[in-house]
């Protein structure tokens, strides 16, 4: 299903232009397909949203913009961990939420590719909200985050997971969220918070793959 979603995204790509390259297992399949297009002569340039996506795209021979920006992205294609009825998102399961949000904001069009397991009526029902925090004082930041839900320091192999920028991640178990925009603003206001995995109003099109094929949902404006 992830492959079906990634393949369906290809029809949204320009003949020539700049493409945001998401992070995660679904985006990884998409990047492989972009590599095939580039090998076939398509003039696409990528903006990767993580070190992993950069390494993958480089290995495939996809030309890339430098990390410094500025970026003028025609279309960004990325995955998500949870998609609400209103097409708001929780992202950051792969820990790349900061770069993903920067590239998302630099894109004229944002396309999200998911399988149907990611759909839920209200954000926070199936996923905790990933919050990237600065290392300095992270336990103090976590104490402040506890107002919004139970924060758990993300670990990998028993040690704190470290983001591409050297930050840490707390996954904040909020439960179903009443107002995601309000929560995003409140989390952003906590000193030490670098970025949150709430993407409110940031998906233009969501491609949902089901066993019966991929279907598109377009955000109402």
Of the candidates 15, 36, 100, 216, the residue annotated as catalytic is 100
- Contacting residues toward ligand 5RP, per CB under 6 A: 22-27, 78-81, 91-97, 100
Which residue lies nearer to ligand 5RP by CB, 113 or 183? 113
Please report how close the Cβ of residue 158 comes to ligand 5RP at its closest, in angstroms: 21
Peptide bond into 178 cis (omega under 30): no
Name which of 78, 75, 91 is nearest 5 in CA terms. Answer: 78
Contacts of residue 8, defined as CB under 8 A and 6 or more positions apart, other chains included, come to 113, 207, 209, 214, 216
Quote the least distance from Cβ 7 to ligand 5RP, whole Å: 14
Q: Which is nearer to ligand 5RP, 42 or 153 (CB)?
A: 153
Give the residue with the Cβ less far from ligand 5RP, 42 or 173: 173
The minimum distance between CB 71 and ligand 5RP, in angstroms, equals 18
Instruction: Read off φ and ψ for residue 61, nearest 5 degrees.
Output: 85, 20
Name which of 81 and 88 has its Cβ closer to ligand 5RP: 81
Minimum separation from the CB atom of position 93 to ligand 5RP (A): 3
Any catalytic annotation for residue 82?
no
CA distances from 209 to 29, 117, 220 (A): 14, 9, 20
Choose between 103 and 190: whose C-beta lies nearer to ligand 5RP.
103
Smallest separation (angstroms) from ligand 5RP to the CB of 70? 22
Question: Which residues does the annotation mark as catalytic?
Answer: 100
């Amino acid at each position: 299903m992830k492959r079906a979603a990634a393949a369906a995204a290809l029809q949204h790509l320009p003949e020539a232009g700049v493409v945001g390259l998401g992070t995660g297992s679904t985006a990884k399949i998409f990047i492989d397909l972009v590599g095939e297009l580039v090998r076939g002569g398509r003039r696409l340039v990528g903006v990767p949203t993580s070190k992993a996506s950069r390494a993958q795209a480089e290995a495939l021979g996809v030309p890339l913009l430098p990390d410094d920006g500025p970026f003028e992205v025609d279309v960004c294609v990325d995955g998500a961990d949870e998609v609400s009825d209103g097409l708001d998102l929780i992202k950051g399961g792969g820990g790349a939420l900061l770069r993903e949000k920067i590239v998302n904001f630099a894109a004229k069009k944002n396309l999200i590719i998911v399988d149907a397991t990611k759909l839920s009526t209200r954000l926070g029902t199936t996923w905790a909200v990933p919050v990237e925090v600065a290392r300095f004082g992270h336990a103090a930041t976590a104490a402040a985050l506890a107002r919004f839900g139970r924060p758990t320091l993300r670990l990998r192999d028993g040690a704190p997971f470290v983001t591409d920028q050297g930050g840490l991640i707390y996954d904040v178990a909020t439960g179903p969220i009443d107002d995601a925009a309000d929560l995003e603003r409140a989390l952003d206001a906590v000193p030490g918070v670098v970025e949150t995995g709430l993407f409110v109003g940031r998906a233009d099109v969501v491609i949902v793959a089901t066993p019966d094929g991929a279907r598109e949902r377009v955000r109402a404006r």
